[in-house]
Amino acid sequence: MNGILFGSQYFGAALTIGAFMVGRVLQKKTGFVLFNPILVGVAICIAVLKVFDIDYEAYNHGAQFVSYFLNIATISLAILLYEQLTVLKKNFLAIIIGISSGVLASVASVLALSIMFGFTHQEFVTMLPHSITTAMGMALSEEYEGYVSVTVAGIVITGILGNVIAVPALKLFRITDPVAKGIAIGTSSHALGTAKALEIGEVEGAMSGLSIAVAGLITVIAMAVFSGIY
């Protein structure tokens, strides 16, 4: 099976897109928050790989093309940001303070939990970059000698959770301003969260896309500071 799939350029991509579409249908028909397309898609992909004993490498041989287009989609968020340039200029200070606060809350919570559960320094730095994009998180984890594979898992889980609970969390805390919604989602759950922000609205999507880049840069500084604390 693995040998056959290694010869296919499309299996991984077809499985990924098909699983996502199943999630979309389930969400539309039921409206149940846990039937999030990304969450359902991940569960279906894992189940198929396990049931048919397919190696991840064979699956990723085709699925990597989906990742390629994801990078393009992320970059295209700059178009939305340009269209919302007036909003950005008007709220610039509030946006920077909001993103900085989000990053600080993220790394501080990791520090508190590490102390509470007695993590080693290596485990601590592994989890610090859990709210930024995979590429930056992997680089930071490797630089500070963390467990890169665990960092990636943490980033993916954070993104999925952000995508799933974004709307309920915004309603719970009565956050109604479009800029605040976008900043909150993008800072806490990177690209996967931004996908949900785009569903909510253009302003939310643009601000969330901006937050991905700015939060990543601030996290680089935060890692340098917090890695020396614990």
Q: What is the pLDDT of residue 12?
A: 86
Q: How confident is the model at residue 111 (pLDDT cuts 50, 70, 90)?
A: very high
Q: State whether the Cα torsion 40-41-42-44 is positive or negative.
A: positive
Q: What is the pLDDT of residue 116?
A: 95
How many Å apart are CA 164 and CA 227, to the nearest integer?
30
| pTM over cut 0.75 | yes
State yes or no: pLDDT of 125 exceeds 90: yes
Q: What is the pLDDT of residue 195?
A: 86
Q: What is the pLDDT of residue 1?
A: 54
Q: What is the pLDDT of residue 52?
A: 87
Q: Which residue has the tokens 């198929």?
A: 48
State yes or no: pLDDT of 5 exceeds 70: no
Q: What angle do CA 20, 25, 29 make, to 5 degrees?
A: 150
Q: How confident is the model at residue 8 (pLDDT cuts 50, 70, 90)?
A: low
Q: What is the pLDDT of residue 74?
A: 66
